[in-house]
Structure 1
Amino acid sequence: MEAYNYQFTALRGIQSGREYYVAMCPLRLIPKIFLFDEEEIPPELRAQRVLNRARVPQIAQYIIDYPDDYVFSSLTASIDGDVNFESLAEHGYGRNAGVLTVSMNSRFLINDGQHRRAAIEEALKQNPKLGEETISVVFFVDAGLERSQQLFADLNKHAIRPTKSIGILYDRRDPFSQLSLKLMDSVPIFRGLTETEKTTISNRSSKVFTLSAIYQATMALLHMKHSDIVTESDLQISREYWTLLGETIPEWRLVITKHISPAELRQNYVHGHGVTLHAFGIAGHTLIETSPRDWQKRLTPLGTVDWLRTNRIWEGRAMIRGKMSKAGDSVALTAALIKKVLELPLTYEETELENTVLALQGE
C-alpha cells in the first residue's frame, strides 16, 4: 500500500469480455476498505440484501475457535474508482500476473460475502493477530448500480445450499455429527438404511431415515444443545435406546431382517418417517429421565401400537389430510401419544395440543 493508493498482488482474468482480478487481501484491511451498503433504502436502490446481524457472531466465533483450521471462500467486490493493472511480463503467463493499483478514493462494494466481512471485523477485535492472514478477493470494476445488482443476482442465482444430511456427514467439528455417524453405523435400524445425502427420501428408496432425522431425533433424546459436550455415556444411551426400539417395534424388526422393504415400511407405517423418529426421541428423553433404572422394560407397550397410516389416530398428529407432516405441532402431538402409551407425563404445551386434537376428533 503506497500513499493515496492500495496495491494488491493479483491475477487478471476475462469474463464476458470484461477484465476482473483475483487478489490476496490482509484481513486487517477488510473492515477498512470493503463497505457494505447498509443504508435504510429500498431494495431497488441497493446492490445487496440486508445484512442479517444474527449470523455474524456465529461466523466470527468459528474463526476465533479455529484460528489454525478455519477456511473462507473468496469475497466478491466491485470497485468504483480508478484501477490500474501492471503485468509482470509482456508475454506468457506473467502477462496476467502483476500488481493491481486502486485509488484510495475508490469505493469498494461487497457483492458476495458481506456476512464473512462483518464476521472478520468482529473476530479481529478479539484476535488482532488474525489481521496478517489473507483472504482471496475477486474484484470487478464497477459499472454502476444496475451492473452491481446484476452481479449479485448472477452470483446467487445458481448457489445451492448443501443438504443438512450431507453437512452432518462431512462435519468433523460438530460432536453431534460424529455421534450421529456412530449411531448410523452401529444401530441395526440405521445401519445400511440411512440416507446420508438428501433430506427427503423417495418412495422407492432402500433407505428408511435420513442422517439429519437421526441427528435431530438424538438431540431430542439427549435433550442437548449444539454447544453441549457429547460424552461416551451419551453414545451408549443413544445406541441402546435406538437398538432396543428396533427390537420392540415389529415392523422395524422386519425391515432389519429384510422381510419387508424400507419402501413398504414408509408407504404403510407412520414410524418409517422422520416426524415419528423425532417424537420417539422426545418421548425417550422423558422415559429415561423418569425411569433411569428400568426404562428399557417400559418400552414394551410400543410393540402393540397400531402404527399403520390408515389408523385414524394419526390424523391430526403425524399426518395432516392423509399426508405425513413435519410441522412442529405434528412432532409434539405424535410424541404426546407415544408418551401416553408409555404412561409418561405430558408437558403443559403437549397437554394443550392434545386437548385441541382430541376436541377436533370428537373424543
Structure 2
Amino acid sequence: MLQTASDVNPNGNDNNTQRPSARIILLPTQLDAQMQAFADATTSGARSFACHVYEQGGRTHLSFSLSLTVLLELARLQTAEAKKNKSNADELINRPIIRPHVEEIAKYLLETDNYILPPFIFNTNTPIKVFAFGEGVVKFGYAVISSNVELYVTDGQHRLEAIKKVLPEKPELRKDSVTVLVVQEDDVDQIHQDFADCAKNKPIPPALLAAFDVNDVLAKLTRDIAKNLVIFSGRVDKISKTIGKDPNYLFTMNQLKIGVAEFLFGSSRKQVIESRSNLSNGEFKAMVERAETFYMEFAKNNEIWKLLLQPASQTANLDLYAFRQQRIDFLTVGFQIISRVGHRIFFGQEFTYAQKETLIKALASLDYGRDNPLWENTVVIDDGSGSKKIVTQTAAVDKAVKVAINEVRELTGINLL
C-alpha cells in the first residue's frame, strides 16, 4: 500500500517483508518530491523518472512514459528457448520468442507511419523508491531506479525484439516513446499469471478486423465496396463471426473480404494477398471501380441477385437465410467461385467491353442451386441422408471454379483459361 514518509523504515526495508513493494515516500508538494528524488539519484548514481503511482489488485503499480532508447536500455528478457528449456520453461519469465510474430510487428512498424503499440508490462523483485505527492487514488511521483534494479519484461517481448530489429532501418523511431507499467513481483508463478491474464483479452473477430483495420489494403477495399454498392450496403454484418440464421444479412465483413480478394487477386490465400499489399492510390481506385462494375453487372443479370438492387431498407421481407439454404452463391464458397471467375474476366485477358458484358451475363445465368448437378462433388456433396453438404476446402473451390469457367465458355464461346 502507499506509504507516507514516516511509514518508511529508515533502513530501506518495508514493514511487510513477505512481498516486494515499491517504497512510496509521500511528500507535501511536487517540488519537494522532485528535489528529494534528484538528491537521492545524485548521491546513489541512480536515474530518476517521472511516473504515476496507483494501487491495483493489492499491488502498487508504477506507470512510465519512456523513449524507445531508454526502453531498450532498461528492459531485460529472460526468455525460454524452445530446445534448451523444454523441461524448465516454467522457471523462466518469458515464453520462447516466436520469430514470425517479431517479423510481423517489425513489418508493421516499418510500413506504418501512424503506428500504435500497446503498453509494456515489466516486473522487478527489487523495491523501487518513489518520491510522490498528491491526495487522490492516483499520485504523481519520481521513481529512483538504481543499477541494481532489474526490469524484466512480463508482456511485450515480441514488441521489444521488433523495435530492436527496425531501429537501424527506421532510426527516427528513437524520438518516439511508449507506456511502461512496472509491477513489483518476485513470484515467477504470479509473473506467469500476469502474462496469462494480459492475454485473456478476446481477439478481434475477423469481421471487426476487416471493418476497422485501415492499414490493411484489402480490408479498405472491402469497406468501400460494402459501403458503395447497394447490393451490399446494409446487408453485411460487420461484427459477427458467422451469419447463422439471420435473414437480413448476406455476408459477414470477413466473408465479403474473402470474395473481394478472389476478384481482385484471383485468390484469397494469405500469401497472395500479402504480395499485393503495396498498392498505389491509382491502383486502389481502379480496383474498386472494377469490383463495383462486376458485382453490379452480375446482380443486374441474375434473377435472385437482382432483388438486392433495392436498398436494404426497402427489402425488409427478403429472407436471405432461406437463400443460403437453397443456393451456393449466398454462401462464401459460391461467392468465391463467382468472384474468381470475375477476376479472369477483368484481369486475366484484354477483353473488350462487349466481351466482358457477355461473360458476366453468362456467369450470372448459371444455376447456383444446391441441387444443381453442376456443383455436385465439388463444393456440394450428398451426406448420405439426402441432404446437400457444403464443402469449403480450397481444392473443392478450385474444382468448382473450373466447372464455372467451362460452363461460361460453353455459353459464350470465349475461353477464360
> TM-score, with normalisation over the residues of structure 2?
0.74
- Counterparts of 1:94-113 in structure 2, within 5 Å, are 96-113=139-156
Does the C-alpha gap of structure 1 residues 192 and 95 become closer, same or farther in structure 2, counting only changes over 3 Å?
closer
Whether the 8 Å CA contact 2:206–2:254 is kept in 1: the answer is yes
Does the C-alpha gap of structure 1 residues 63 and 271 become closer, same or farther in structure 2, counting only changes over 3 Å?
same
Residue from 203, 206, 213 that aligns with 2:255: 213
Q: Secondary structure at the match of 1:317?
A: coil
1:66-107 CA deviation, whole Å, 9 max, x = no partner? 44x2222211121133422221x2x51497210122332333
Residue from 355, 375, 380 that aligns with 1:314: 375
Deviation at 1:38, TM superposition (A): 2.9
Note if 1:44 corresponds to 2:97.
no
Deviation at 1:243, TM superposition (A): 0.9
Does the C-alpha gap of structure 1 residues 63 and 76 become closer, same or farther in structure 2, counting only changes over 3 Å?
same
Residue from 21, 25, 31 that aligns with 2:72: 31
Deviation at 1:313, TM superposition (A): 4.6
Amino acid at match of 2:131: E
In the aligned structure 2, how far is the partner of 1:181 from the partner of 1:98?
A: 45
Residue aligning to 2:185: 142
Consecutive unaligned residues of structure 2, counting only runs of 5 or more, are: 1-40, 266-272, 410-414
In the aligned structure 2, how far is the partner of 1:181 from the partner of 1:95?
A: 41
Note if 1:253 corresponds to 2:299.
no
Residue aligning to 1:22: 63
Amino acid at match of 1:37: Q
In the aligned structure 2, how far is the partner of 1:324 from the partner of 1:139?
A: 51
Residue from 220, 228, 234 that aligns with 2:279: 228
In the aligned structure 1, how far is the partner of 2:255 from the partner of 2:58?
A: 47
Residue aligning to 1:8: 49
Deviation at 1:206, TM superposition (A): 0.7
Residue aligning to 2:294: 241
Whether the 8 Å CA contact 1:28–1:124 is kept in 2: the answer is no
Note if 1:56 corresponds to 2:102.
yes
Amino acid at match of 2:357: Q
- Counterparts of 1:1-363 in structure 2, within 5 Å, are 4-40=45-81, 41-42=85-86, 43-67=89-113, 69-87=114-132, 89=133, 91-93=134-136, 96-157=139-200, 159-223=201-265, 225-229=276-280, 230-257=283-310, 258=315, 260-288=318-346, 289-290=348-349, 292-293=351-352, 294-311=355-372, 313-319=374-380, 321=383, 322-343=388-409, 344=415
Please say which of residues 160-169 and 268-277 is displaced more in the overlay.
160-169
Does the C-alpha gap of structure 1 residues 106 and 330 become closer, same or farther in structure 2, counting only changes over 3 Å?
farther
> TM-score, with normalisation over the residues of structure 1?
0.84
In the aligned structure 1, how far is the partner of 2:151 from the partner of 2:329?
A: 54
In the aligned structure 1, how far is the partner of 2:190 from the partner of 2:147?
A: 22
How many residue pairs were aligned? 342
Please say which of residues 209-218 and 138-147 is displaced more in the overlay.
209-218
1:244-278 CA deviation, whole Å, 9 max, x = no partner? 11122222123445474211111221110122212
1:303-334 CA deviation, whole Å, 9 max, x = no partner? 44332223455354324644434432233233
Deviation at 1:139, TM superposition (A): 1.0
Q: Secondary structure at the match of 2:356?
A: coil
Q: Among the aligned pairs, what percent are the same residue? A: 18
In the aligned structure 2, how far is the partner of 1:260 from the partner of 1:304?
A: 21
Amino acid at match of 2:152: L
Q: RMSD over aligned Cα, in angstroms?
A: 2.6
Q: Secondary structure at the match of 2:167?
A: helix
Q: Secondary structure at the match of 2:118?
A: coil
Q: Secondary structure at the match of 2:48?
A: strand
Whether the 8 Å CA contact 1:83–1:101 is kept in 2: the answer is yes
In the aligned structure 2, how far is the partner of 1:300 from the partner of 1:50?
A: 55
Consecutive unaligned residues of structure 1, counting only runs of 5 or more, are: 347-363
